[in-house]
Amino acid sequence: MIRSLTILAVYYAVRTVWPLRILYLLFSEEQHAHIETFLTWALPIIFLFDLNAMLSRWAENKWMWNHDKSAWHWRNELAVVTGGSSGIGFSVVEKLVSYGITVAVLDVEPFLNQLQPDQMSLVSFYQCDITSRDAVHKTAEKIRSDHGSPSVLINNAGIGNANTILEITPERLRSIFDVNLLSHWNTVQEFLPDMIAKKKGHIMSTASLAAFLGLAGMVDYSCTKAGMIAFYEGLTQELKHRYNAPQIKTSIVFPNWTKTRLTSHLTDSLKRSKAPILDPEDVAEAMVQQIIAAKSGQVILGPSLAASIRAFPWWVQEFIRDRLAQIVITNATTAVS
């Protein structure tokens, strides 16, 4: 909306205001007619795009105009990051502490001391199996005893298999759903009540562009990430309509292929497909900037049309899936992201 009004204002100024009118006089009457015809058609289209973007931002902010960034004082905030010992999670931790945010890392693997001493002083590691409701509760009690209640929860932990539907074992299938999806109920049930009581918080989930496509060789992974979309949407609705807490931010992040242990066995096939590969630091930067901006919404780190792929004709969708069908072709054990 601002963009279209700016274009119109500039054109009007060029026509009427000296010395800008000199620019107007450089063109012939015929050229002026073409410009005005173009603006007659272009400005409404630009206006509609701007209006759509504005309404989307308003909806993402739960129909509130104010982002209320003043409520956040980063050196007083506590963030919980699951899967924070490596990969994207570690990079998120590193960037959070750069803002002075205290971070509690939940992971089954030890947190490697790869940060500066002043940064490490802001990080507390809690070995925790997030698939266990009891383990999450006991860890949460320890976190609250040590630091107080967290205001930020980043559900980042994830695992991946490289197996077909017929090859995957029941144990591995159950495991990936437990870690990638069902664990979100454990952490949100534990930490959300305090956020609701304070009318302040931010819950973020690390999904994947695989949420929009069911790909051969990683059907289980795609299913868990698609399920995260439903979880994110439902959580957002319940915060507005069940708990009267629209102030609590909700975000979901969709990275493209990223250089983590999840993709280490796909290096050759990714190169052959010429698929872009993100660095964990770039994904983490986008995630943390969303937190610092105190914004809700989707963060898509890949083709901007990815979220709209289900609206494409079926033959287009299938063509895209076919192009990606040979990326995950080797059997592999699970890896933590």
pLDDT of 62: 75
Residue 39 has pLDDT above 70, yes or no: no
Catalytic residue among 200, 225, 249, 259: 225
pLDDT at 1: 56
Strands 159-162 and 249-255: unpaired
Question: Is a pLDDT exceeding 60 seen at residue 238?
Answer: yes
Write down the mean pLDDT value for the chain: 85
Q: What is the pLDDT of residue 270?
A: 62
Task: Report pLDDT for 37.
Answer: 73
Distance, in Å, from the CA atom of 278 to the CA atom of 303, rounded to the nearest integer, reads 12
CA–CA–CA angle 225, 333, 155 (5° rounding):
35
Write down the pTM of the prediction: 0.83
Q: Which residues neighbour 222 within 8 Å (Cβ) at sequence distance 6 or greater?
A: 210, 211, 213, 214, 215
**Active-site option among 95, 126, 221, 259:** 221
* Residue that the structure tokens 């302040």 belong to: 200
| Least confident interval from 52-61, 183-192, 306-315 | 52-61
Average pLDDT, integer, range 142-158 = 98
The answer, yes or no, to whether residue 337 has pLDDT greater than 60, is no
pLDDT of residue 59: 74
| Percent helix / strand / coil, the chain, rounded to 5 | 55, 15, 30
Of the ranges 16-20, 177-181, 207-211, 221-225, which one carries the lowest mean pLDDT score?
A: 16-20
Task: Compute the average pLDDT of residues 73-97.
Answer: 97
pLDDT at site 6:
62
Q: Is the pLDDT of residue 219 over 70?
A: yes
pLDDT digits (tens, 9 = 90+) for 255-295: 987 877 766 666 666 666 667 788 999 999 999 999 999 99
Instruction: Report, at the CATH architecture level, how domain 74-336 is classified.
Output: 3-Layer(aba) Sandwich (3.40)
274 has catalytic annotation:
no
Specify whether 225 is catalytic: yes
Tokens for 252? 């979901």
Asked if residue 24 has pLDDT above 70, the reply is no
Residue 271: predicted pLDDT: 66
| 196-215 burial code (b ≥16 CB/10 A, e <16) | beeebbbbbbbbbbbbbbeb
Pair type for strands 123-127 and 102-107 = parallel
Cα gap 59→61, rounded to integer Å: 5
Residue 30: pLDDT over 80: no
pLDDT at 161: 85
Domain ranges in the chain are 2-60, 74-336
In the prediction, which pLDDT does 9 show? 54
